[in-house]
Structure 1
Amino acid sequence: MIEKQERFWCHNGHTLCSTCKVRVYNRCPTCKQELGDIRCLALEKVAESLELPCNYFSLGCPEIFPYYSKLKHEVVCNFRPYNCPYAGSECSVVGDIPYQVAHLRDDHKVDMHSGCTFNHRYVKSNPRDVENATWMLTVFHCFGQYFCLHFEAFQLGMAPVYMAFLRFMGDEVEARNYSYSLEVGGNGRKLIWEGTPRSIRDSHRKVRDSHDGLIIQRNIALFFSEGDRKELKLHVTGQILKEKQNPDAGVYITSLCS
């Protein structure tokens, strides 16, 4: 939480906020004199009286706030840019959703699909060699929105596992309007995961480490693969649904895209 910043004088009249005062070890960065504990109340009053537009005004935010409220708002502003959701590398690109979709397609060569159902097969020749790696990131366009499907292998403690999950390319509040299901199986058995997609505001690592998705242990994955258990073959299917509220009945209706 961003709190009101106190401002302090040094002996030569330079001022510094309380946060920066700690960062420079209580020494003025301009004249190198030690900062005292004398507050600059006049500047604090000026900061309180300022009304400024959100930093993300150019991205569509219409809000105007007093200075300290502005700082609090910008931390959660729905118009703030999104980080690149690609998980295969540390990508520093930021931008709005249309920009990120084009970036994923053009720079990361991510597969793009239209429709709310999917059917993927993942094959690995040596399933006992499990390194932390993203195998696939696919972007789906349905209900006029974009969703990222992740599938990867990583170590959970000492055990190798495979995990699939969906992220929504938008904010968390919007993500709650949708749900999804994932299914993997073989040999007459199957595992099913049902959940709500996480917003890409949550990093890929945060979602993975929270285990919020379909997790398949290696032995189960090999059982699903059939054959001699020397090659991993996983068949993952799924669908994305939209939750609509019926105001008359007070209930939610789940719908598939056409």
Structure 2
Amino acid sequence: MELDNIECVSSSDGMQDEEIDSHHPHQSSSKTHVIPSGIAPATSVHELLECPVCTNFMYPPIHQCHNGHTLCSTCKTRVHNRCPTCRQELGDIRCLALEKVAESLELPCKYYSLGCPEIFPYYSKVKHEAVCNFRPYNCPYAGSECSVTGDIPFLVAHLRDDHKVDMHTGCTFNHRYVKSSPREVENATWMLTVFHCFGQYFCLHFEAFQLGMTPVYMAFLRFMGDETEVRSYSYSLEVGANGRKLIWEGTPRSIRDSHRKVRDSHDGLIIQRNMALFFSGGDGKELKLRVTGRIWKEQQNPDAGVCIPTLCS
């Protein structure tokens, strides 16, 4: 689908419609704490446990050559079973002594510089890091495989400056999607707007794809933060015309979930093509969809013991 064929118009919180460019993973009782090199000089044990090829910490099986040089199991395959230090054949020798030493260590999370205060037994660290709340986020931009990572403020600036995504302040929105030749529906995705409300950022997405044999359009919202934070927010989407209306209400998905994962779970407002054409006037010549929505925060009422929706001002 050619992006030039889609015109997207947005307004937010009373703002006038404006053009949006569509280009637009048995512990010892005695533990040794290893402090990050950024805090104190690295210990010799710390250095011994670094793979000389990838420089990551080594986990069993730790391999060694006949001369005692070690490397991790992943890099053993990369170097074609040749020691990267002395070029001798590696064979299948395990460095059991170094593996035993590793059991006695405790190490900080590798995201300590981003704020994580946790220290873990050596063999538990990797499992924690896969779900650490301080780990960087992937760029949430849809429609390209962007490899940029960072914290939320960095990614907001990246989306604005590098991907030219529109930024809006407020918790209501109004988008119009216009497409010529609507009979042609190919897989396509756009990240139309980043909204700032309640001191948080939300991404609005729009997708066109085949759901089985049926061409559909889909709109959904993602939250720029973790799953634990998003639970207090809700949003609604509405599309309609000619006396008919479709309404979706749900909880935004965290950007920890890719836009493709959200799309494939159908967690959003889905509009079948015939209904989209009906909303567009029924002549089948042009697709014109106006999707409106709002974001609110559920707050606990301490007197009544119930949650009440709060709109941003």
TM-score relative to the length of structure 1 = 0.89
1:82–1:200: 8 Å Cα contact kept in structure 2? yes
Gaps of 5+ in 1: none
Partner of 2:139: 84
Decide which of 154, 163, 167 is 2:222's aligned counterpart: 167
1:86–1:137: 8 Å Cα contact kept in structure 2? no
1:167–1:198: 8 Å Cα contact kept in structure 2? yes
The CA deviation string for residues 186-235 of structure 1, in whole angstroms up to 9 with x for no partner, is 11111111111111111111111111111111001001111522111111
Gaps of 5+ in 2: 1-24, 26-58
Asked if residue 158 in structure 1 is aligned to residue 228 in structure 2, the reply is no
Take 1:150 and 1:104, find their aligned partners in 2: how far apart are those partners? 13
Decide which of 60, 68, 73 is 1:13's aligned counterpart: 68
Partner of 1:243: 298
2:81–2:90: 8 Å Cα contact kept in structure 1? yes
Counterpart amino acid of residue 220 in structure 1: M
Partner of 1:35: 91
Secondary structure of the residue aligned to 1:61 is: coil
What number of residue pairs does the alignment pair up? 256
Secondary structure of the residue aligned to 1:71 is: helix
The percent of aligned pairs where both chains have the same amino acid is 84
Take 1:80 and 1:57, find their aligned partners in 2: how far apart are those partners? 9
Asked if residue 63 in structure 1 is aligned to residue 146 in structure 2, the reply is no
Q: How does 1:56-135 map to 2 (within 5 A)?
A: 56-135=111-190
Provide the aligned C-alpha RMSD in A. Answer: 2.3
Take 1:67 and 1:244, find their aligned partners in 2: how far apart are those partners? 40
- Over 3 Å counting, the alpha-carbon distance change for 1:32 and 1:206 in structure 2 is farther
Tell me the CA shift for residue 159 of structure 1: 2.1
Take 1:51 and 1:34, find their aligned partners in 2: how far apart are those partners? 29
2:64–2:90: 8 Å Cα contact kept in structure 1? no
Asked if residue 195 in structure 1 is aligned to residue 250 in structure 2, the reply is yes
Take 1:170 and 1:77, find their aligned partners in 2: how far apart are those partners? 13
Counterpart amino acid of residue 215 in structure 1: I
Take 2:129 and 2:199, find their aligned partners in 1: how far apart are those partners? 26
Decide which of 189, 194, 217 is 1:139's aligned counterpart: 194
Comparing both structures, which one devotes a greater share of its residues to strand? 1
Counterpart amino acid of residue 89 in structure 2: Q
2:66–2:88: 8 Å Cα contact kept in structure 1? no
2:142–2:190: 8 Å Cα contact kept in structure 1? no
TM-score relative to the length of structure 2 = 0.75
Partner of 1:209: 264
Tell me the CA shift for residue 256 of structure 1: 1.5
Counterpart amino acid of residue 11 in structure 1: H
Tell me the CA shift for residue 53 of structure 1: 2.1
2:141–2:191: 8 Å Cα contact kept in structure 1? no
- Over 3 Å counting, the alpha-carbon distance change for 1:42 and 1:204 in structure 2 is same
Tell me the CA shift for residue 127 of structure 1: 0.7
1:184–1:192: 8 Å Cα contact kept in structure 2? yes
2:103–2:123: 8 Å Cα contact kept in structure 1? yes
Decide which of 222, 228, 248 is 2:283's aligned counterpart: 228
Tell me the CA shift for residue 252 of structure 1: 2.7
The CA deviation string for residues 88-112 of structure 1, in whole angstroms up to 9 with x for no partner, is 2221111110010011111111111
